[in-house]
């Protein structure tokens, strides 16, 4: 129960496949209290059922991260429940399907802007809004992917968003260092989630990565969750501005 006494917000759980749901389950098992922030009404019923199955009792709030008022309303709801929080999990990404089907060179500005707004700027925006209710020594995590700095065919526009997200992690870790707030990213192998299904050849990619990876296993949302437990706990004190791969060593391989 290394997270006992820690309180926070988890963004991005929509259904049982969501990485944020895998994180929520593990944080609960380790004693954390949290509010789940979801994009829309649709996710609420799905999550309520899952929460019942796992005996998780928590509030669910709706927050569309493209809407400033929605973020500030959520912050007020979090502040009135917890006063101060110790962690934020940002597990959000979106690219219009058309832009994921096209190569980067054909990406329209409005699709580029929307992808970066939701997948990257939302982290900055959320942290700015929540800054005054973060306790000293708090920890923030986001989710990235290897396509941020390697060519992963089909990931195109999202690769740009993840490159900017990873850079944001580093600058935010500097911006927040005076309050000892740590900012890190987990970068897992491909996992079969609703968002990931928008990337061409997802299943093929998953098999390839697990076959080639050093530890030869497929990463699932629970494994990402246990790594989140570490990063959000005091066990990871001193770790900030890092992109931590949860990919069984795959990212270290050269072209074989
Ligand atoms: N699945 C993978 O293979 C994989 C690998 C590495 C990193 N990631 C990253 O993990 C994170 C979570 O993705 P996932 O795979 O669990 O898929 P998911 O579809 O379960 O989660 C994406 C979440 O983003 C939310 N979202 C989108 N637009 C939003 C908005 N305007 N306001 C609020 N929320 C919004 C969705 O509601 C959803 O809950 C993403 O950042 C993704 O890029 C996924």
Listed by start position, the domains of the chain span 7-252
Please tell me the residue having the least CA distance from ligand 1 atom 17: 195
Please tell me the residue having the least CA distance from ligand 1 atom 5: 190
Q: Where are the alpha helices (DSSP H) in the chain?
A: 19-29, 41-53, 68-82, 97-101, 109-116, 122-130, 156-175, 202-212, 221-232
Query: What whole-number distance in Å separates Cα of residue 58 and Cα of residue 25?
Result: 12
Question: What does the pLDDT average to over 12-24?
Answer: 98
- Non-local (6+) Cβ contacts of 53 within 8 A are none
Burial 58-84 (b: 16+ CB within 10 A, else e): bebbbbbbeeeebbeebbebbeebbee
CB neighbour class for 102 (10 Å; exposed up to 12, middle 13-18, buried from 19): middle
| Ligand 1 contact via 125 beta carbon (within 6 Å) | no
Is 256 a residue whose pLDDT tops 90?
Answer: no
CATH number, domain 7-252, options 3.60.20.10, 1.25.40.10, 3.40.50.720, 3.40.50.150: 3.40.50.720
Is the separation of the CB atoms in 173 and 241 below 8 Å?
yes
Question: What does the pLDDT average to over 228-244?
Answer: 98
- Residue 194 alpha carbon, nearest atom of ligand 1: 19
Computed over every residue of the chain, the mean pLDDT equals 96
Cα–Cα nearest to 58, from 130, 134, 7: 7
| Ligand 1 contact via 71 beta carbon (within 6 Å) | no
Q: Tokens in use for 23?
A: 């994180």
Question: What does the pLDDT average to over 6-29?
Answer: 98
- Residue 64 alpha carbon, nearest atom of ligand 1: 32
In the block, which residue shows the tokens 């006494």? Answer: 5
Ligand 1 centroid, distance to 109 Cα (angstroms): 21
Question: What does the pLDDT average to over 85-109?
Answer: 96
Q: What is the pLDDT of residue 92?
A: 98
Q: pLDDT tens-digit profile of 156-183? A: 999 999 999 999 999 999 999 999 999 9
Please tell me the residue having the least CA distance from ligand 1 atom 3: 190
First to last CA, the chain: 42
Q: Tokens in use for 162?
A: 């993840």
Query: What whole-number distance in Å separates Cα of residue 114 and Cα of residue 66?
Result: 9
Band (pLDDT 50/70/90 cuts) for residue 255 is confident
| Ligand 1 contact via 147 beta carbon (within 6 Å) | no
Is 77 a residue whose pLDDT tops 70?
Answer: yes
Is the separation of the CB atoms in 99 and 115 below 8 Å?
yes
| Ligand 1 contact via 244 beta carbon (within 6 Å) | no
Is 88 a residue whose pLDDT tops 70?
Answer: yes
Ligand 1 centroid, distance to 152 Cα (angstroms): 18
Cα–Cα nearest to 86, from 129, 140, 10, 132: 140
- What DSSP element (H or E) covers 233? none
Is 251 a residue whose pLDDT tops 70?
Answer: yes
| Ligand 1 contact via 19 beta carbon (within 6 Å) | yes
Question: What does the pLDDT average to over 17-25?
Answer: 98
Mutation test residue for ligand 1: of 17, 19, 23, the one with most atoms within 8 Å of CB: 19
Ligand 1 centroid, distance to 19 Cα (angstroms): 7
143 backbone dihedrals φ, ψ, rounded to 5°: -120, 125
| Ligand 1 contact via 190 beta carbon (within 6 Å) | yes
Q: Are strands 182-188 and 7-11 parallel, antiparallel or unpaired?
A: unpaired
Band (pLDDT 50/70/90 cuts) for residue 200 is confident
Is the separation of the CB atoms in 30 and 234 below 8 Å?
no
């Amino acid at each position: 129960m290394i997270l006992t006494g820690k309180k926070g917000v988890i963004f991005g759980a929509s259904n049982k496949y969501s990485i944020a749901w895998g994180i929520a389950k593990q944080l609960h098992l380790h004693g954390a209290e949290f509010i789940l922030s979801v994009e829309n009404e649709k996710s609420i019923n799905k999550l309520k059922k899952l929460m019942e199955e796992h005996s998780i009792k928590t509030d669910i709030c709706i927050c569309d991260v493209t809407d400033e008022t929605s973020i500030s309303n959520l912050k007020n709801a979090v502040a009135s429940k917890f006063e101060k929080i110790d962690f934020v999990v940002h597990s959000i990404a979106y690219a219009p399907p058309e832009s994921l089907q096209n190569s980067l060179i054909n990406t329209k500005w409005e699709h580029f802007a929307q992808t970066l707004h939701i997948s990257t700027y939302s982290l900055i925006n959320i942290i700015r809004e929540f800054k005054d209710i973060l306790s000293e020594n708090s920890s923030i995590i986001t989710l990235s992917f290897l396509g941020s700095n390697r060519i992963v065919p089909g990931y195109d526009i999202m690769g740009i968003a993840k490159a900017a997200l990873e850079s944001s992690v580093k600058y935010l870790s500097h911006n927040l260092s005076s309050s000892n707030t740590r900012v890190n990213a987990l970068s897992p192998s491909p996992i079969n989630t609703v968002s990931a299904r928008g990337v061409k050849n997802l299943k093929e990619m998953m098999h390839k990565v697990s076959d080639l990876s050093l530890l030869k296993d497929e990463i699932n949302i629970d494994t990402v969750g246990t790594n989140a437990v570490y990063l959000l706990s005091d066990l990871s004190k001193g770790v900030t501005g890092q992109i931590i791969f949860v990919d069984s060593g795959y990212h270290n391989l050269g072209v074989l």
